[in-house]
Amino acid sequence: MEIKYSELSKRTKSSEIRELLKYTRIKDIISFAGGLPDPSLFPIKDVTRITEEVLQEKGFLALQYGPTIGEPDFIDAIREHTNQYGEEIENDQICVTSSSQQGLDLISLVMLDPGDEIILELPSYLGAIQAFERTGVIMNGIPLQNDGMDIEILSNIIKKKLSVGKKIKFIYTIPDYQNPSGITMSKEKRLKLIEIADKYSIPIIEDSPYRELCYNNSKVPSLWALTNSKGIIQLKTLSKMLFPGMRIGWIAAEKEIVNKFSLMKQSVDLCSPTINQLIIAQYVREGLMKATIERAIALYQEKIACMLNALKKYMPEYVTWSKPTGGVFLWIKLPDYMDSKELIKKAAENKVIFVTGKPFHCDGSGKNTLRLNYSFPTIEQINTGIFRLTETIKEFQKLNKELIY
């Protein structure tokens, strides 16, 4: 059968990272590749009990279709959770999603047309790049500094685009413990970003899956809080702070915008799983969500400390890395002449893998970078894995030097 595929499907590319999956099958390999939570944190007993209670008490609702915008009980729970973390949100500012990846899909469906211009960080989350890229937009990458995107370059790019009659559809940012870099945007930069976005009437997409996973008690206010939610579309998910298996998250925005997303969601999946929303609603009501997040913080704090110590102990001086204070990722920069796509082949032979950095760059740069995850491997694996990675980099550097000189 010959199918004439849509232009959109032709623009949908497989990620380079998919190819790396073959390495995860190697016996005894240590993987710093995924962004998976530590499964020892999964509250299996509580979820089993709550599921039974939900089915007994509200089975007629739990197994039924639900409102596209989300179950009222769950929306109440989101408001409660958001308030616990010091932010204000109204129920009618929330549209439940089948996790943040759907949020990104809805954003691309509702806001983007081929040829539109958008701004994102360099590097940025690969899943967002994929969702935006297939719509045929032009992506403008703003280099990240240690405290967030380079605001001067941001301002210059906007001015340049406006001067030739182009409009920027939105600025996409991951301000807290960014994926992939682990970098957090400073309050000063957040305020400047808001000022620029406001000046040129550009909406900001604040994608913040890692915000609650803060390891040093020094949370910078969210863009949502700093603007009183004006001009911000925020994406949230339970995937990292709780568990990804239920595929639940939400989009927060001004009421009219949320209704637009909800309308689009109708045509995408009618509603997110009702039973999952009801289970999580009870989980939050019982105070278990905050407790799970606190356990995750304690565990990941130990893991990041272990990774940073191991890097300091083993890595040669020509390698640099970010120092995340939250989230689940750390970013490594190799000398310019090294290609992490080549390095990973050697690393896999030495039984350690990571994710190469280039696919996170919308402009095709970043070949000398790589991302490490520390939430999934055990402490012992982190220590051994960083040792193996260091040995691989040293071997690789010798090889590269021989090729250069």
Ligand X SMILES: Cc1ncc(COP(=O)(O)O)c(C=O)c1O
- Which of 37, 66, 70, 244 binds ligand X (CB under 6 A)? It is 244
* Cβ contacts of 67 within 8 Å, gap of 6 or more: 271
Q: Does 207 bind ligand X (CB under 6 A)?
A: yes
Q: Does 37 bind ligand X (CB under 6 A)?
A: no
Q: Are 307 and 347 in contact (CB under 8 A)?
A: no
- Which of 93, 100, 108, 390 binds ligand X (CB under 6 A)? It is 100
Nearer to ligand X, 125 or 170 (CB): 125
Nearer to ligand X, 101 or 227 (CB): 101
DSSP, collapsed to helix, strand or coil, labels residue 219 as coil
- Which of 108, 130, 237, 356 binds ligand X (CB under 6 A)? It is 237
Q: Are 214 and 325 in contact (CB under 8 A)?
A: yes
* Cβ contacts of 302 within 8 Å, gap of 6 or more: 379
Within positions 151 to 170, which residues make up the interface with ligand X, using CB under 6 A? none
Distance CA 29, CA 216 (A): 31
Count how many residues are written for the chain.
Answer: 405
Within positions 115 to 144, which residues make up the interface with ligand X, using CB under 6 A? 125, 127
- Which of 31, 101, 272, 397 binds ligand X (CB under 6 A)? It is 101
Nearer to ligand X, 43 or 335 (CB): 43
Q: Are 235 and 93 in contact (CB under 8 A)?
A: no
Within positions 266 to 305, which residues make up the interface with ligand X, using CB under 6 A? none
3-class SS shares of the chain: helix, strand, coil, % to 5: 50, 15, 35
Name the one range near ligand X by CB under 6 A: 98-106, 147-155, 297-305, 361-369.
98-106
Smallest distance, ligand X to C-beta of residue 238, A = 7
Q: Are 162 and 200 in contact (CB under 8 A)?
A: yes
| Count of residues that interact with ligand X, criterion CB under 6 A | 14
Distance CA 271, CA 63 (A): 12
Question: Which backbone phi and psi does 237 adopt, to 5 degrees?
Answer: -150, 155
* Binding string, residues 300-339; x marks residues near ligand X by CB under 6 A: ----------------------------------------
- Which of 29, 31, 35, 325 binds ligand X (CB under 6 A)? It is 35
In this structure, are strands 117-122 and 320-321 parallel, antiparallel, or unpaired? unpaired
Nearer to ligand X, 249 or 377 (CB): 249
Smallest distance, ligand X to C-beta of residue 93, A = 19
Smallest distance, ligand X to C-beta of residue 97, A = 8
246, amino acid identity: M
Distance CA 246, CA 171 (A): 29
8-to-137, 262, 281 alpha-carbon distances in Å: 11, 22, 36
Within positions 178 to 197, which residues make up the interface with ligand X, using CB under 6 A? 179
Nearer to ligand X, 249 or 385 (CB): 249
**Which residues are paired to 172 by β-bridges?**
120, 205
- Which of 249, 324, 326, 366 binds ligand X (CB under 6 A)? It is 249
Name the one range near ligand X by CB under 6 A: 55-63, 97-105, 191-199, 217-225.
97-105
DSSP 15-31: PGGGGGHHHHTSTT-EE
Nearer to ligand X, 274 or 373 (CB): 373
Binding stretches for ligand X (CB under 6 A): 35, 99-101, 125, 127, 174, 179, 207, 209, 237, 239, 244, 249
